Amino acid sequence: MKPVAIFRHARSEGPGYFATFLNERNISWRLIRIDEGAPVPDDVHAFSGLVYMGGPMSVNDDLPWIPPTLDRIRQAVAAGIPVMGHCLGGQLMAKALGGTVGPNTVKEIGWGEVRVASNPAAEAWFGDVRSFEAFHWHGETFSIPPEASIVLRNDHCANQGFALGKHLAMQCHVEMTEEMVKEWCEIGEDEIQASLGSPAVETAQQIQWGLSERIEKLNANASVIYSRWILGLER
């Protein structure tokens, strides 16, 4: 099988549990370090799937790698190569597929429930899961692109995820590990403190309460999502 391409846009926002999931299933993957200046690959057919991770930038920023990234997402979708996005990655997918990205009503930082929508696409992706606690760190959000279906939502962000066939975009983070949560709390402490006026922002102490158990549950729910996504990989 061709490798899965994983695009990293910030050093602290790597594939996390998704890499563990692939390794446990002997699915090869290649990390493309956009944050270190790696070029956006020209040929999407070199990969069995494309996965986009998070990052502190906006998809509306004037960054040289964003236009070719949007092009590759469109090319992959047209070719039937599965695409998945986490947070910024989901926003890239939305913009590439005809949606928009702009400020959310509030900033979300920390843990919060997301609910699975009641439609065939959501049921195909999440099965019997009706809701779960996800991790959040964003100030912007996406609209649902034409022909896509909303699959996740919550009280603070109406569009937490959309699906288009074998392609899935998430505003929330399901890839988190304990180490990632602790690192984000450390490097993002100033942002947390500046954002505590939002009803959807937790303190670093609240975020790390019961962390091992929360990550274990998150990994289990991520496995449901990832197991569905890998069914579409080109083999």
Could you tell me the CA-to-CA distances from 128 to 159, 212, 235 in Å, in that order? 20, 24, 28
Residue with tokens 């509306």: 60
pLDDT tens figures, 33-52 = 999 999 999 999 999 999 99
- Domain count for the chain, please give it: 1
| 108 vs 152: CA distance, rounded Å | 15
| 48 occurs within a structural domain | yes
DSSP string, 55-119: -SS-TTS--TTHHHHHHHHHHHHHHT--EEEETHHHHHHHHHTT--EEEEEEEEEEEEEEEE-SS
| 235 occurs within a structural domain | no
| 81 vs 2: CA distance, rounded Å | 11
Question: What pLDDT score does 124 carry?
Answer: 95
| 175 occurs within a structural domain | yes
Q: Is the pLDDT of residue 81 over 80?
A: yes
Q: Is the pLDDT of residue 235 over 90?
A: no
| 169 occurs within a structural domain | yes
pTM of the model: 0.98
Q: Which domain, by its residues, includes 73? A: 4-230
Question: What pLDDT score does 106 carry?
Answer: 97
| 112 occurs within a structural domain | yes
| 140 vs 164: CA distance, rounded Å | 21
| 180 occurs within a structural domain | yes
Q: Which ranges of the chain does DSSP label H, i.e. alpha helix? A: 17-24, 66-79, 88-96, 120-126, 178-187, 189-194, 204-208, 211-230
Q: Is the pLDDT of residue 155 over 90?
A: yes
CATH of the domain at 92: 3.40.50.880
Question: What pLDDT score does 234 carry?
Answer: 74
